[in-house]
Amino acid sequence: MKTFWAEEKALGTVEIILILAVLVGIALIFRQYIFSFVRDIMANILGDSTVNIRDNPLNL
């Protein structure tokens, strides 16, 4: 049992997976805000050529 607790090789992998899961969850919660933010930036950079992105950002 002591060797099991001393083994920390997979600990980094679990932490990375948890961090990625939290980031994906936050992105899903705030996706409307993120799409709006990106659309505004694209409109400022490209002008009115982003009409298709405004109408359907995922092209579904």
Q: Tell me what pLDDT residue 28 has.
A: 92
Alpha carbon distance 20, 39 (integer Å): 25
Mean pLDDT of 26-45: 86
pLDDT in tens, 37-54: 888 887 777 775 555 666
Mean pLDDT of 3-19: 74
- DSSP labels for 2-58? HHHHH--TTHHHHHHHHHHHHHHHHHHHTHHHHHHHHHHHHHHHHGGGGHHHHH-TT
Q: Tell me what pLDDT residue 54 has.
A: 60
pLDDT tier for residue 29 given thresholds of 50, 70 and 90: very high
Mean pLDDT of 18-44: 89
